[in-house]
Amino acid sequence: MRPSDQRLLTSSVLTGRPGHICGSDTFDTSNVIMAPDRYSYEGNWLFCMFSEPEVAAARIGFGRGKMDWRDYGLEGVPISESALFCRIEVVAAEGIYAYLFSDPASGRAVESRTDELDVRFRQDGTDLVRLSGWPLSHWHFCNPQDTLEVDLKVQIQDLTVWPDFLMPRNTFGMCVGTSEVAGSIRLENRRIPVSGAAVYDHPRIVVQPNSVAPFGWYLYAPIRFADGTLVASYYSENCLGQKDLVYSAGFLSLADGSRHWLQSCQVRKLKVGEDRLPVCWETELEGPEVLLKYRVEIVPVPLARGWGGADPEVSKGRYVAYPLLMEVEGEAQILGERTRLQCGRGIAEFLVHNELRPKFS
């Protein structure tokens, strides 16, 4: 794919030019309001990085609708326009607390407004998902057992439309934004106040054919550094080992309030363990007068407790894609001035085509 790809100019599922960063007060809210009559799939996800020692990070979110799972090498997985997927994953000091839910029909029970961001999913009279408000949003997620709960106020700040990601059977669009978060997390009988920063994303999928090589793998890595700098990057290759030059990019938010779109992302020296999950890698991000370089180490985190699809008795050893806790160090060169990027932390999302054994460089 060439850097001059049409995806740099416009998105087929979102309003706004990819890579153009604006405040939440001017961002087109049609990009985040659910529209199931227009898109095959939509979701809302939050990657949180907290300041408290008891809880390092969390990933919460849901997706409703269909995608063609064959693009990921998953044959036989139901392709349902009424599917619902929900995840609550909290990375605590003692391990991951996780609730995973998926069902091909529960999407019919999701309630959403067409004029504002307001989404609810109830089960047996209990709100398991409630997301409302813009740009100050309230995120409330809990499991049916009422033993895992995340309750956050999320102040959305700056957003950008990401270039579309093309797969043979799916077109994947997304907007990404920075936010401040504060609230509480309940782990069984323990409630923990939390505050910090988060990266928000709203993906949309249209199931349609595209003349592209099959998907290979991707790495999504939102990071917060000690000085408040936030970075969100995507890197992807197809099954032929060719980098997606348009989708592999980054979004930089500095502590002084400046924002930068970094149109080039390169992952190098990616090492994986016996479980086929990353152990470490190096990332280089580049934009106009900006260059970031950093090294990532994955911190092994055990499962402390799982419910639903995260219960080991239910998952039976299947890959459940828990978030990967990152520790990051590096440097930034901005307008010719070098700055250390220290004490970075975040949670990465890594996905490989089910039938692919790629060679990482």
DSSP state of 313: H
pTM of the shown model? 0.96
Whether residue 3 is predicted with pLDDT greater than 60 in this model: the reply is no
The predicted pLDDT at position 76 comes to 76
Determine the pLDDT at residue 2: 53
Sheet holding 337-352, edge to edge: 259-262, 249-253, 230-238, 215-224, 337-352, 324-334, 290-298, 278-287, 264-272
Average pLDDT over residues 192-209: 97
What is the rounded average pLDDT of the residues 132-144? 97
Sorting pLDDT into bands at 50, 70 and 90, what band is 359? confident
pLDDT tens per residue across span 42-100: 999 999 999 999 999 999 999 999 999 999 998 878 799 999 999 999 999 999 999 99
The answer to whether residue 41 scores a pLDDT higher than 60 is yes
pLDDT at 297 exceeding the cut of 70: yes
Mean pLDDT of 181-194: 97
DSSP state of 210: -
Using pLDDT thresholds of 50, 70 and 90, give the confidence band for residue 1. very low
Burial class, 103, CB count within 10 angstroms (exposed 0-12 / middle 13-18 / buried 19+)? middle
pLDDT at 157 over 50: yes
Answer whether 244's CB lies under 8 Å from 210's CB: no
The phi and psi torsions of 14 (rounded to 5 degrees) equal -130, 155
Question: What tokens were used for 232?
Answer: 């969100």
Share of the chain above pLDDT 90, in %: 89
Q: For the chain, give the mean pLDDT.
A: 95
Query: Which tokens go with 133?
Result: 């408000």
Query: Looking at the domain that runs over 17-352, which CATH code has it been given?
Result: 2.40.370.10
Report pLDDT digits (tens) over 243-286. Answer: 999 999 999 999 888 999 999 999 999 999 988 899 999 999 99
- 3-state SS, residue 226: coil
Place of tokens 């990401």: 162
Cα(107)–Cα(179) distance, rounded to whole angstroms?
A: 27
pLDDT tens sequence across 207-236: 999 999 999 999 999 999 999 999 999 999
Task: Determine the number of helices (DSSP H) and then strands (DSSP E) in the chain.
Answer: 1, 22
Q: Is the pLDDT of residue 361 over 90?
A: no
